[in-house]
Amino acid sequence: MEILASIPSPGESEIHLGPLPLRGYALCIIIGVFLAIWLGGRRWVARGGKPGTVADIAVWAVPFGLVGARLYHVITDYQLYFGEGRDWVDSFRIWDGGIGIWGAIAGGAVGTWIACRRRGIALPPMADALAPGIAFAQAIGRWGNWFNQELYGRATDVPWAVEIDNGLDQGTFHPTFLYESLWCVGVGVLVIWADRRFRLGHGRAFALYVAGYTAGRFWIEYLRIDEAHEFFGLRLNNWTAVIVFAAAVLYLVLSAKRSPGREENVEPDPDAEPAGDETPAEVETSAEAEETAGETAAEADAEAPEKPAEAKAEGGADAGTKPGDEDAKAPAS
């Protein structure tokens, strides 16, 4: 069947910004990261957080995410870097492509948790603020596969097929990068809508993003033909998608029952002193006040028994005079 249309692949994977060469793969990741930080920052402020907090969190989250993404890829595709005819140094060449979204999420979550802990912020509300931005960042980052002509699907002649000129016999394939990019845009829009409609909190917006993404990743992964480990007829990433999807849905259900609604205070005031924390001067002043109060109470207890005795004596003197005696002794008028 004659192919009437297709998506051409770029002639080279580098973009030259003047004298500076920049790989298209890296450019897509950079744009996605900045978009996620910008949108996450706006959503964090809208939830009651402070401007600039998300950018500070990203200083930890982004490096951890990149390391986790590359580590996951190297572990699950170790045959590409280790063994006969392979150079293990290539495992560090992240600019040549090869990252795993599961490792990126796990590593980014660790970095975000560390940064949030340092600032006294709970992780779930921060994850909710970042969720749609992460989905949009993935949508942009997937175009890096187009620049590298990698991770495409089965051969096809549909009008939107992508042309691959790396020596394969068949010239056009399913553009799985495009499918996943469009799917991630839809997931991001869904999270924003659901968050506004149902006021998702306590990590539920992030769980919805994870569930939505994994649902799409399952069928997109089924189309891919790149080398991958298989278990019981399914690729490793298919099994990962199923397990993570189930965990995300379970969290959505349990969290809605345990913690309905949304957090009221997402970021503590750094100028306010936490309740129960006192400076040494305050502790000393408090101790002196308690000691003074104790001495006053002791003096009051020591004087208390004398008053009933005096009252009894006065009462006895009055008792010696009968009512009417004073009237009897008074002169007749």
Q: Average the pLDDT over each of 61-70, 72-81, 260-269, 306-315 and give the range with the smallest value.
A: 306-315
Distance CA 114, CA 294 (A): 46
pLDDT in tens, 72-95: 988 888 888 887 888 888 888 876
Predicted confidence at residue 302, as pLDDT, reads: 55
Q: In sequence order, what are the beta bridge partners of 153?
A: 224
pLDDT higher at 316 or 65: 65
Which pLDDT band, with edges at 50, 70 and 90, does 333 fall under? very low
| pLDDT class of 165 with cuts at 50, 70, 90 | confident
Q: Mean of the pLDDT values across residues 229-233?
A: 88
> 182-219: per-residue pLDDT in tens?
999 999 999 999 999 999 999 999 999 999 999 999 99
State yes or no: pLDDT of 31 exceeds 90.
yes
Three-state secondary structure call for residue 265: coil
What confidence score (pLDDT) does residue 327 get? 43
Confidence band (pLDDT; 50, 70, 90) for 280?
Answer: very low
Q: Are 73 and 66 in contact (CB under 8 A)?
A: no
Looking at residue 324, its pLDDT comes to 46
- pLDDT bucket at 299, cuts 50 / 70 / 90: low
The letter for the amino acid at 128 is D
- Write down the pLDDT at residue 273: 54
The pLDDT of residue 289 is 53
Q: What is the pTM of this model?
A: 0.77
Among residues 249, 138, 130, 240, which one has the least CA distance to residue 183?
138
Please give the residue that has the higher pLDDT: either 231 or 275: 231
Q: Any idea where the domains of the chain sit in the sequence?
A: 14-258
- The answer on whether 142 is annotated among ligand-binding residues is yes
Strand segments (E) across 137-183: 162-163, 172-173
Phi then psi for residue 49, to 5 deg, are: -85, 180
Alpha helices in 149-235 (DSSP H): 176-198, 204-223
Q: In the predicted model, is pLDDT for residue 52 greater than 80? A: yes
The span from the first CA to the last CA of the chain, in angstroms, equals: 143
